[in-house]
A and B are shown apart, each in its own frame.
Chain A
Amino acid sequence: MKQRGLAVISGGLNEPSSTRLLADRVAASATQALADLDVEVQVDVMDLRDHAHELTNMMLTGFAGPDLATAIDKVMKADGLIVATPIFSASYSGLFKTFFDLLEPDALVGKPVLIAATAGTARHSLALEHVVRPLFSYLRAVVVPTTVFAASEDWGIGSGSGEALSERIDRAARELARLVASDQRPAPVDPYDDVMSFEDLLGGS
């Protein structure tokens, strides 16, 4: 059985958080979809709320405090990401963006990512396509085609809405699982181990 790691990043601010709830549902579906592909998965879930102070500190000092450093390390090592943000003012939350602003520029290159969001109204749903997807495209991550958006009405009030969300979650999770299971990405390059020769540096100048 193949082994894979998934990192789940929730930008929800409340406790309990509907964003975290959505992220957990997507993670459970992805775990099942990977099991169907004969892949055993280790899931690490993080609430960015827990790192709010360290995220601000890192913006000012340039280095991660110990807990945040551990969280970033898990994201770097994961075979795929599930990211979920509340939509504030037609975009991701500031805390969510801060986390991705602080990663090294190449941290997510080639990494499969499932993007999800919550909001109070369905009128925010395309924020995933217009704001969140371009962020991950810029970071050269591989974003799965199906996005998962949950407004208040999707949590099961009204005819058929809950089922629609579940179907969407399962579809996105299957897309992610296929990428994660077949992933052939090379290991990340360590700049301190893999030294460029000085002759090359000199020649390139």
Chain B
Amino acid sequence: MQFGVFSVGDVTPDPTTGRVPTEAERIKAMVSVALKTEEIGLDVFATGEHHNPPFVPSSPTTMLGYLAASTDRIILSTATTLITTNDPVKIAEDYAMLQHLADGRVDLMMGRGNTGPVYPWFGKDIRDGIPLAIENYHLLHRLWREDVVDWEGKYRTPLQSFTSTPRPLDGIPPFVWHGSIRSPEIAEQAAYYGDGFFANNIFWPKEHFIRLIDLYRRRYEHYGHGQADQAIVGLGGQVFMRKNSQDAMREFRPYFDHAPVYGYGPSLEEFTAQTPLTVGSPQQVIEKTLQFREYFGDYQRQMFLMDHAGLPLSTVLEQLEMLGSEVVPVLRKEFDSLRPAHVPDGPTHAALKAAAERQVVEAEVL
């Protein structure tokens, strides 16, 4: 089981002080969060990708390249990479390059982006969101697996005798997750390729994501990649902890009440009852996170949203310390002991490489 932190990269005023971080502060804060993620023993850091204020991470591989040089162990990922408005050729090149520089510590998560005006800035139309995600990813998938590609599609200029360089490290393309909040088409897409499926899970009730993940698992088996319970599932989570749960509620409430996504809507009590958000003691976070396995089956990656809604960096780093020392060690032990032997662990470059080598050996034996 892999544990990680994903950052949206929002520049949000701290509602308790009114202070707004500069872009420079926010960018460096994301770097601090990533470095802390490695320091506390977690496995993955993922950055969002946005092309509009109030978000800073428009250039994920620049940040991840910097992090590749400043870390040794964590997987560097995205949440999400816009497969709709980015050129799939550039994604193939950028992330293959990053994969080499990071010695394989790279995977990425495809997403569509839900902000209409962003699409035309990149020559696209949000109404084509699903077809763009399907066609662009199909090309990306080929570019990493075929040395020379001839290709013609609807949404970009054709390719003739094109080779995307550098070729993936060890001939192993970066592992890909497909993230979706509500589209069954994307669960189907992930299942078709045998890729991972990531359910954001943080803003909506679990019942909705249970249906999406069940669909993905069913179709993963249908396409012959393994049993349904062997499909690669990732989940988001969102927590705020203090030793005493009352302190956690009191401290987090102003951030919740003014948060960009759910602020001015449901009460903190309603939202924590209806969604996976946990505000309480580390023990409560452990209990609620362990429940995810009961709802969604054994899964491979748990990501936490920690730095958002204007929380100061010092608080976020304290939260990460608690996550790393009191929560994740318990979760790791529990999840790993509960997971049956035939269910795979979280995807890594080393594991994918070993699997590819096994396949070659088996083919030679046959």
Contact = CB atoms under 8 A, between A and B. Distances in A.
Contacts of B215: 192, 195
B266 A57 contact: yes
A196 interface: yes
Contact of B188 (A62, A65, A195): A195
A66 interface: yes
A40 B259 CA distance: 49
B340 interface: no
B329 interface: no
Interface string B193-225: 000000000011100100110110011000100
A62 B275 CA distance: 12
A205 B270 contact: no
A65 B184 contact: no
Interface stretch (B3-11, B59-67, B131-139, B226-234): B131-139
A180 B138 CA distance: 46
Interface in A41-67: 56-57, 59-63, 65-66
Contacts of A198: 188-189, 191-192, 223
Given A61-B203, A66-B274, A196-B185, A205 B265 contact: no
A192 B184 contact: yes
Contacts of A57: 265-266, 270
B24 interface: no
B153 interface: yes
Contacts of A201: 130, 134, 185, 188-189
Interface in A76-107: none
B154 interface: yes
A191 B188 CA distance: 11
B265 A60 contact: yes
A204 B131 contact: yes
A56 B184 contact: no
A61 B212 contact: no
Contact of B262 (A60, A66, A205): A60
A1 interface: no
A157 interface: no
Nearest to B190: A198
B264 interface: yes
A62 B134 contact: no
Contact of A63 (B135, B208, B212, B263): B208
Interface in B233-273: 261-266, 270-271
Contacts of B275: 63
A187 interface: no
Contacts of B191: 198
Given A65-B266, A205-B153, A195 B203 contact: no
Given A65-B274, A195-B219, A201-B185, 18 more contacts: A57-B266, A57-B270, A60-B265, A62-B204, A63-B205, A63-B208, A63-B274, A192-B184, A192-B211, A192-B215, A195-B184, A197-B188, A198-B188, A198-B192, A204-B131, A205-B132, A205-B134, A205-B155
23 contacts: A56-B265, A59-B265, A60-B262, A60-B263, A61-B203, A61-B261, A61-B262, A61-B271, A63-B274, A66-B274, A191-B184, A192-B211, A195-B184, A195-B215, A195-B218, A196-B188, A198-B188, A201-B130, A201-B188, A201-B189, A204-B131, A205-B131, A205-B135
Interface of A: 56-57, 59-63, 65-66, 191-192, 195-198, 201-202, 204-205
